[in-house]
Structure 1
Amino acid sequence: MSAWLTQHRAALAGAFRRLFVAPMSTVLSLLVIGIALTLPALGYVLLDNLRELGSRASGVKQISVFMEPGASRKEADEIASQLRQAGDLNWRFVPREEALQRLQQTEGMAEIVASLPRNPLPDAFIVEPQDTGPAALEALSQELAGWPKVAHVQLDSAWVKRFDAFLRLGRLALALLAGLFAAGLVAVTFNTIRLQVMAQAAEIEVARMIGATDAFIRRPFYYYGALQGALGGLLAAVLVLAGLRLLAGPVGELATLYGTAFALQAPAASGAAVLATGGALLGWLGAQLSVSLSLRRFD
């Protein structure tokens, strides 16, 4: 066991040394890997922020439940009791007096409201479900429409469906982009490792002549590919954070112009670990393919 650990430790140390043998080549390779991982990662972060912005937009995923004009407060209390029993709903009651007061405060509506002989607005409930998927919102709105003394249920289901379809299309496009860049990352690692194997061809021949196993020969290259991919993933995390910092100011100003407050949310620390792990796996895969094909020449 100690011999196995010693061999792995030596292979890892050798991989670190290779990074500093040709620093310019290493920097360029890390930049290529970092950029390849940055673009899809930044896209996912921005899409997640867009989803958050869409969910926070006023009335986007709210269901407005309007009572019949002649419904009494007792009947409204019965609807409130049913909403409490539902459990997974956030809701608030808007009495007709409050609705009329808000309408009166709207620009140009004060004189019109004052001329009305009575309050024509009904009591209403604003319902915000936990499950904001289009299908769940549609089902809930249909259920609410069947409750007693409910005259109308309003949900902009078309907007919700369009927004959800846009998010799904964005995720699919990013998945395809991530797949293309992952293939490019594997190709970069493949070529880098192939050149190193060719440069050390004489050493590999001697090592095999004195009894070195294929696993012993392959191990340093595997570690090098994984290490290079992991460092590229960490560089991608830094680039994503830098990109979000640059975009934070313009996005905040744009949100202010639309009368809202919104700030781009940076990914959690686990995001950097995911990028580093993904880069290491892709680097290891590229190294594995390159070493396997290159060593066939020696056979």
Structure 2
Amino acid sequence: MTSWFSQHLAGLQDAWRRLVASPLNTALSLLVIGISLALPAAGWLFIDNLRLAVGNTGSLQQVSVFLADDADAAAIAEVERGLRQAKLGSVRFVPRDEALQALQAREGMADLTAGLPRNPLPDAFVVEADASPEALEAAVKAFAELPKVDDVHLDSAWMRRFDAFLHVARLVVALIGGVFAAGLVAVTFNTIRLQILAHAEEIEVARLIGAADDFIRRPFQYYGALQGALGGLLAVALVTAGGLLLADPVAGLAALYGGSFSLHGLVPLEIAALVGGGALLGWIGAQISVLIHLRRLG
């Protein structure tokens, strides 16, 4: 066990020395890897922030249940029980007088409603629903069958469009991430190829004195993994810096719409995924390069 640990530690140290030995090449490779990882990460983070800014699509839905003109207190209580049993969210009763007052409070509506001989608005319930679009549509049909319910209104078209947009956006980011992941593997492949060619004589000597292929491959594998992990850390720094630059403008934009919103950055699990994913992709690129080019060297 001690021997195994020592061998891997030696391979890791050798890989680190090779990284430090060519700072310019290392910096350029890390920049390419960092950007390759930062772009899809930033896209995913943007979608997540957009979802949070808009809020849960279901929780923003208001189901308006309009009662018939002849609905008495018993009928209203029965409808309320039916709405609460559905457990979609909060239920609020809006009397017709309150609805008329709210309408009159709107700009330009006071004069229009002043000449009405009577209140034309019905009593209604407003359900702040927390459910999926499918569940809401099924609930609308059930609410319409309740006694003394005249009409049920739900505008779910925007919700479906928003869900579809998020789905497509996630697919696009995933495709972009796949393309950049392949590019990261290719960058590591080429870097390790150059490293192998530069150390071809050392590899020859190592083989002549009986070094195993695992011993020869190990520093290159660690080189690729280290390069990928450092590129992941650079990606984290780039995404974090971008978030800090956008924080104030986004907060100002939200304030213009009468709300408050602050961008959230990468959480520890996402940071670990970026660094670990970079290391894994770097290791894969190094492994492929080592297998091909060491075989060519005989």
TM range, smaller chain: over 0.9
Q: Distance in 1 between matches of 2:66 and 2:248?
A: 40
Please tell me whether residue 184 in structure 1 is matched to residue 183 in structure 2: yes
Give the stretch that moved more between structures: 155-164 or 72-81: 72-81
Give the stretch that moved more between structures: 196-205 or 13-22: 13-22
Please tell me whether residue 284 in structure 1 is matched to residue 260 in structure 2: no
Question: What's the RMSD between the two structures over aligned residues?
Answer: 2.1
Q: Counterpart of 1:66 in 2: which secondary structure?
A: strand
The letter for the 1-side match of 2:197 is M
Q: TM-score, normalised by structure 2?
A: 0.92
The percent of aligned pairs where both chains have the same amino acid is: 58
1:222 paired residue number: 221
Q: Counterpart of 2:296 in 1: which secondary structure?
A: coil
Map 1:1-299; keep pairs closer than 5 Å: 1-55=1-55, 60-132=60-132, 134-299=133-298
Q: Counterpart of 1:296 in 2: which secondary structure?
A: helix
Deviation at residue 102 of structure 1 after TM alignment: 1.2
Contact 1:53 1:262 (C-alpha < 8 Å) held by counterparts: yes
Distance 1:207 1:92, change over 3 A: farther
Deviation at residue 60 of structure 1 after TM alignment: 4.9
Q: Distance in 2 between matches of 1:12 and 1:131?
A: 51
Distance 1:266 1:94, change over 3 A: farther
Distance 1:14 1:128, change over 3 A: farther
Q: Distance in 2 between matches of 1:18 and 1:220?
A: 9
Q: Counterpart of 2:61 in 1: which secondary structure?
A: coil
Q: Distance in 2 between matches of 1:158 and 1:31?
A: 43
**Aligned residues between the structures:** 298
Deviation at residue 58 of structure 1 after TM alignment: 11
Deviation at residue 194 of structure 1 after TM alignment: 0.8
Deviation at residue 137 of structure 1 after TM alignment: 2.6
Unpaired stretches in structure 2, ≥5 consecutive residues: none
Distance 1:286 1:90, change over 3 A: farther
Q: Distance in 2 between matches of 1:58 and 1:257?
A: 24
Structure 1 stretches of 4+ with a deviation exceeding 6 A read: 56-59
